[in-house]
Structure 1
Amino acid sequence: MWDPSKWELHKLYSKHPDIGRLVPPTEVLSLKTLKRLLHDYKKVYIKGKNSHTGSGIIKAWKTGTGYRFVRVKGKPVDVPSIAELYTNVKRGRPDNSVIVQKAIDLAKVEGRPFSIRLMMMRDGQRKWHYTGMLAKVSGEDSIITNVRRGGGYATTIDEALAKSLGYSRQQIAKVKRKLVRIGFDIIDHSIKRGYLSHESGLDLGIDRKGKVWIIEVNLCYPSYGIFNRLEDKTFYNKIKRLAADYKKNR
């Protein structure tokens, strides 16, 4: 099953003149890269190159007396040194299988950060379409926005942007157009570099200053059941229709 790693896709998109500006600084995990990124950005995420659905993700940050980290959700763990932090976040994982990434200060809905899932799909004639977007709000005490694993919930982009950043309808419409444009840019660049797929789930973020970030790109087998959690089933029905159309005519 073809499924490019997070590191492979990071290298792919970070080289693009426009997309690259939206990709958080990321390195393969080592004691050196962990120390440097924590020095530069204070907070980082540690992720398996091939993990999905928020599995095993760790958030780590500096404190006044050392370092602190949380694995997925729950109570933070304190350690006194960067070496001990590195030992803990790498434990049980093979060399070169983990990345460390600048943590984005995501906008929050009622104190909880949210990310955006944007779906892009091909129809039976192999034409790409934007098929929907929603906001994934993190669960209580969770450091991830994956709804199933983190215990959060799904809502509309309109509600998330209005509640978090106080955006007007005009501002929200502008952001949504930008997100869709980014979606097509990502797909176009992927295709030009030989990364072919028929459905992709893009995880995007908006920080507290309104800047858009690319958190993760799922070029293969993205989950879209979360769209069924929205009261309005328009996106979910469109996704199912295009998936069936592609399967019938491939």
Structure 2
Amino acid sequence: MKEKIDSLKGDQMSIKKHHVKSKLAVVYQLIHTPGVADYIPETELLNKSSLQRMIQKYEKVYLKPDRGRKSKGVIRVERLKGNRFKIRYGSLQKYADKKDIWKKTDRLTKGKRYIVQQAIESVTKDRRHFDLRCHLVRIQGQWKVGGICGRLGEPGSIVTTYHSGGTPTPLNTLLTRHLNYSGRKKENMIRRLKECAIQAVHHVSKMYPNLKEFAVDMGIDPKRRIWIYEVNIEPLIRANFKKLPDKTVYRKIKKVRKIAR
């Protein structure tokens, strides 16, 4: 925990000056919140030294635009044997060694403000990447979960969003068919996901008191540990819940939106 907090202290001033939609600003809020901080992958502002630290500490890291949406511009860096690295960017795949990894990634980020984040192994039994989108709405001052859906990435893809070829998937289908959860374990996981998302949004909403809905993107690792990738402050439901075969959850969210306050 202390290590995570220390890694972000150097960026505190720049966060205060930066746009309020900054991913790093939200991470900074959550990393200082007891009960939530342990759900947050280690995250830093991307620069040459932070990239070098993170790729030595973790086998895989993600580079994400600080204010990006729909997984656009996401890069994955994977450490291989002999201090070699594989860089994935969309369908592009490059290799680099330690001395030129920064030059190659900096060229891909094109000088834009990025974060570097510990990669979480959130994959199905057939090794497809997945995450979960949890939509929350404030009703009479209390944060309520409007719905949760899974998102399955295409085989071999590093991203899961619909705009990048991912498939919105009913939560029950994801947990039972793709993760082999039994009835009791499935219900327990759903409860934990909701509690985690509500707790995170309760604190993030203090930064945006006028907003009445958020979406939390989450992962589950092989040890069934829950992780929060990011909290979205302008959540859309068309490319997630509306794409589900059954529109029940989509209609529910649309309904509760009308009474949000």
Both structures adopt the same fold (TM-score exceeding 0.5): yes
Corresponding residue to 1:106 among 122, 126, 136: 122
Give, in angstroms, the shift of residue 172 of structure 1: 0.6
Q: Within 1, Cα distance between the matches of 2:181 and 2:123?
A: 12
> Are 1:223 and 2:223 matched, yes or no?
no
> Are 1:133 and 2:148 matched, yes or no?
yes
Q: Within 1, Cα distance between the matches of 2:125 and 2:72?
A: 23
Deviates more, 1:82-91 or 1:173-182: 82-91
SS at match of 2:259: helix
Aligned AA (1:143): I
Give, in angstroms, the shift of residue 33 of structure 1: 1.1
Q: Within 1, Cα distance between the matches of 2:226 and 2:71?
A: 20
Q: Partner of 1:64 in structure 2? A: 81
Q: Within 2, Cα distance between the matches of 1:127 and 1:19?
A: 18
The answer to whether the 8 Å contact 2:36/2:200 transfers is yes
Give, in angstroms, the shift of residue 234 of structure 1: 1.6
Q: For 1:1-250, list aligned pairs within 5 A.
A: 3-65=20-82, 66-71=84-89, 73-79=90-96, 81-91=97-107, 92-94=109-111, 97-123=113-139, 125-149=140-164, 151-191=165-205, 193-196=206-209, 197-219=211-233, 221-225=234-238, 226-246=240-260
The answer to whether the 8 Å contact 2:201/2:231 transfers is no
**Over residues 24-69 of structure 1, what are the superposed CA-to-partner deviations in whole Å (9 max), with x where a residue is unaligned?**
0111112211111111111100011111110100000112251111
> If the length of structure 1 is used for normalisation, what is the TM-score?
0.89
Q: Partner of 2:5 in structure 1? A: none
| Overall identity of the aligned pairs, in % | 27
Q: Within 2, Cα distance between the matches of 1:131 and 1:144?
A: 24
5+ residue gaps, structure 1: none
The answer to whether the 8 Å contact 1:110/1:163 transfers is no
The answer to whether the 8 Å contact 1:34/1:100 transfers is yes
Aligned AA (2:213): E
Q: Within 2, Cα distance between the matches of 1:22 and 1:242?
A: 27
The answer to whether the 8 Å contact 2:31/2:37 transfers is yes
Aligned AA (2:183): R
**Over residues 109-165 of structure 1, what are the superposed CA-to-partner deviations in whole Å (9 max), with x where a residue is unaligned?**
532111000000134x4543210001100113311111222x121112222122343
Q: Within 1, Cα distance between the matches of 2:81 and 2:137?
A: 47
Aligned-residue RMSD, C-alpha: 1.8
**Over residues 186-226 of structure 1, what are the superposed CA-to-partner deviations in whole Å (9 max), with x where a residue is unaligned?**
122123x443221111000001111100011102x211111
CA 1:107–1:142 in 2, change beyond 3 Å: closer, same or farther? closer
**Over residues 166-200 of structure 1, what are the superposed CA-to-partner deviations in whole Å (9 max), with x where a residue is unaligned?**
21011111000111111211122123x44322111
Q: Within 2, Cα distance between the matches of 1:21 and 1:131?
A: 24
The answer to whether the 8 Å contact 1:131/1:238 transfers is yes
Q: Within 2, Cα distance between the matches of 1:32 and 1:212?
A: 28
> If the length of structure 2 is used for normalisation, what is the TM-score?
0.85
Give, in angstroms, the shift of residue 230 of structure 1: 1.5
SS at match of 2:81: coil
The answer to whether the 8 Å contact 1:205/1:215 transfers is yes
